[in-house]
Each structure stands twice: as structure tokens, then as C-alpha cells.
Structure 1
């Protein structure tokens, strides 16, 4: 990966390590950590563990000396354009908070960097980083340079651009993760899937698509519960750089505004051929 992305990877890792320590230090007190700390940006309740994790991440960003605008899940937009910031860091400190609080080892830190000021869009993201904290796995992508998977800091796999999926090769069973919100009508294609999961961390589930562990990830919910850009900014780049596709409900490449108001349903598939099962 190009050396010029080193400073972004270094900061993303420092954020993930800092949040990892917060989670470890409070592992025996998750019942308290799950309680509401405050009402976050746009009215969503924020748990104590989310608040602590985000506070530590913001401290690390400040200590880095990098001039960045920041969009976080809990506090919303931190605009530093007046100070010269021309890039935006998009952060979900803990994606899969419910899992984290319950002791289910499937949650992640998601960090993405986008060119331009606040007010940009998903396609402006040029670097993405998702860390599965319990598994110590890092998914990393740079725009135009592919995606990588590392475990314990050691590269174990370059995510293959042309890996065949079960769906396209005809192999069985087809593997998918599906989230259906309340009152969502189950789609017909569910009948074709033998191994169906819903794991509670959109960023990690999309990374499993990039890895080839899942054929696709399907998310469909009511407007107020749809995914926001903080959930999937990094994992969308990772999926696309591994040869996958990420589409919106309209069947076109997913695009979102860099803010917390825009919410979308989506499907992420291993490649275009894997989408055939959805038809």
C-alpha cells in the first residue's frame, strides 16, 4: 500500500488501540457501561461505553496534530475547516455496541478518511480501516490500491478481487447475513439461503463479504433505523476494493452524504455475479 497512507493507518490504529483499552478496562462492568450517558447527535441515546470510547478517540485525534474535520456517531459534526482542515475523519467508535455490552465477541472500530470538507459524500472516502476488536483482525483499504486483512499486525491475506463466491459458482450452501427491521417483509430470496445470520455489526459483516466468508450482506429497515455513513464508510471502501459491490435500494452504487441525517438500506455482495441470487 502506498507509503503516503501511513499516517492515516497510524492514526486509525491508535484510535482502535485506545478504544480497545477502554473496552478491556470495563469488561467486568458492562452492565453499568450499557446505561445511557446522554442523548447523542440527532436524538439517539448514547451508552456509557460509547461515550467513553468516543471521548478517547477524539483525544487521540487531537494529540495526532492532524487537522481533520470529524464526524462521529455520538457527537455528530466537528468542523475544523476554519483551522485549515481539508479532510474528514468518519468514526464509529464501537460498531456493535449491543454485542459489546452483552459479551458477544463481534464488534469493531470503524475509521474512514474522506477528501474535502464536511458536506462531502461516501465516494470521497479514500482510506478505510475496520478492526474486529475481539479477534484482533484489521481490514484496511486505500482507494485504487485494493484491500488487506491482517491478524495480530501480520498480513495473512490480500483480499482477492476475483474470488468466486458460493452464489456464483453454484456451490452450496450460500452464506449471507441479513438484517430485517420490524415489520419488514422477508424477501423471497431468503428461501435460497441455507446458512443465514444476523450478527449485529454492519461494518464487520460487510468486511466478511470482502473476505469471502459471506456471499452478501443485506440490510433493510424503516427509514429511522437505516444505516448511517458512520456505520459503513470504511467497510464500503473495503468491500469495493476487494472486488465487491455495494448497492442502494435503487440498485445503483450506494452514495451517501457525510452527515448523520442520511440513512440508507443496502446490499453488499462479493461481486456482481453473486447478486444474481437477489433477483
Structure 2
């Protein structure tokens, strides 16, 4: 079994290759291949091509591991490890040329289910900025090799908080209702458009906290590890783990203020 650091390095190597391809395809012009949950939930040909590159690269170096990708789905392995991949997180940003999109690759132990897995390594690479975020369980979080730490001792009223919205219009309205409730209690709210980068921003101190409902496993697998390794608490509804129903990430003191607000609101959303 390789060490967590070795798995992290594999994730970073593959993510850099994938990021180079995503950046190249962006410079050539983006072509929409399909839509998924709604007309605004788009898939580009680059999404599919980048994921294929990642899948083949991981299969070459770790042939016994499983795979779970946003575009190509899952494949079972025999090693107990699964690679969870978002080839281009922030596809709408990518389509519009907004430089906030990323390749996200994580390695998890156990079934590829956020309710039960344990993330042990990950990398998030922003092709537009050249920033590479990495983490391994117990090994800390880094940005281009520099150790990261969350912002400490930030009260709710001074917190810069990130969030995101779903593709379905009615769900966005519900999500916006909580933002309207929260915005008078914090410094301000940011909506960047890529969950992996939002979580990395918490790790890097660019955001004090982040919350969102409706995330898929590949959206947060690597980013949540980065936030944790930088000192954040990350959780979901009640005392449960992060998942589709809710994700909140913040330093301990701020988490204790923000999580109950989000939990109370989203617990009623069934």
C-alpha cells in the first residue's frame, strides 16, 4: 500500500497533466457537448476529454484502484482505494472564460460514498492561475508547496463566506432565501462558481467559511480534505458528514456559529 504522500503526488502529477489539457482546449474555444440536469447544467467536450486522460493515467499507475468520475461514472477496484474526479469543476466559468475552474482529484478509502469514505489524498489545480493545492491525511495542506492554514478567531459578523447555487431555478430560490437570511449577519458573501476552489479558499484564508447544498461527491472530495488539513471543521446536516444535503467548512469557532444556522434552515428542506 503506498503512503498518503505518494498518493498525493500521483494525484498532483495527473491533475497537472489534466489541467494543461483543459487550458489548451479553453484557448481553442469551448464546445458544449450536452446538458445534464437542466439546460444551464452543461458538459463540454473538454470535460469528457480531460476525464478520459485522468482515467487512463490512473489506470496505468494504479490498475487495481476504483474510479468515480463526474462524466464517465464509476469502476470498481480491488485495492480498497477509489479515485474521485471532477475533470473541470466550474464548467460554466470555463465556458465563459472566467478563470475560476479546476481539475479536482481525490483518493478515498472504502466505498465511494461521502457518508462512509475516508479521503486520504487529493489535488486541486486551477489551470488559469497555475495554482496547485495538495493535501494528504495527516500531512497538511499546501499551495504550490507552501503550507496552508485557515483564518482563526474570526467571528460570524466579520466572516467572508462563500457559497454556491444549484442549476435548478427553484432550488436556487430556496438557496437564495438562506443567503438573504445570512447576509446581514456576516461581512459579505461570495459566489465563485467552483466548489473545489471554494474549499481551497477556506484552506488558504481567502474565505473564512463556505457552505453549500446539492454538491456531488466529486465536487468536494479533494477540497474538503484540503480544508480539514488546513484546520477547518467540515460537516453536513446534524452531526453527519458532508454530502449532498449540506456541506459547511470553517475554522472551529466560526463553524460553531455558522453550522447551526445552515443546519436549521436545510434540515427543513426535504
TM-score > 0.5 by shorter chain = yes
The 5 Å alignment of 1:119-198 reads 121=115, 123-150=117-144, 155-156=145-146, 158-160=147-149, 163-167=151-155, 172=158, 174-180=159-165, 181-184=171-174, 185-187=177-179, 188-198=181-191
Please give the secondary structure, in 1, of the residue aligned with 2:99. coil
**How far apart, CA to CA, are the structure 1 residues paired with 2:172 and 2:246?**
14
- The alignment's TM-score, normalised by the length of structure 1, stands at 0.78
**How far apart, CA to CA, are the structure 1 residues paired with 2:21 and 2:141?**
28
Aligned residue in 1 for 2:241: 254
Shift of 1:206: 0.9
Aligned residue in 1 for 2:27: 28
Aligned residue in 2 for 1:214: 207
> Is residue 230 of structure 2 the alignment partner of residue 237 of structure 1?
no
Q: 1:65 to 1:269 in 2, by over 3 A?
A: closer
Q: 1:27 to 1:179 in 2, by over 3 A?
A: closer
Please give the secondary structure, in 1, of the residue aligned with 2:172. coil
Shift of 1:165: 4.6
Aligned residue in 2 for 1:110: 104
What is the aligned-residue RMSD (CA, Å)? 2.6
> Is residue 47 of structure 2 the alignment partner of residue 53 of structure 1?
no
Number of equivalenced pairs: 248
Gapped regions of structure 1 (runs ≥ 5): 221-225, 257-262
Shift of 1:203: 0.8
The 5 Å alignment of 1:259-270 reads 263-270=244-251
- The alignment's TM-score, normalised by the length of structure 2, stands at 0.81
Given that residues 165 and 215 in structure 1 are in contact (C-alpha distance below 8 angstroms), is that contact kept between their aligned partners in structure 2?
Answer: no
Given that residues 160 and 242 in structure 1 are in contact (C-alpha distance below 8 angstroms), is that contact kept between their aligned partners in structure 2?
Answer: yes
Shift of 1:253: 4.5
**How far apart, CA to CA, are the structure 2 residues paired with 1:119 and 1:268?**
19
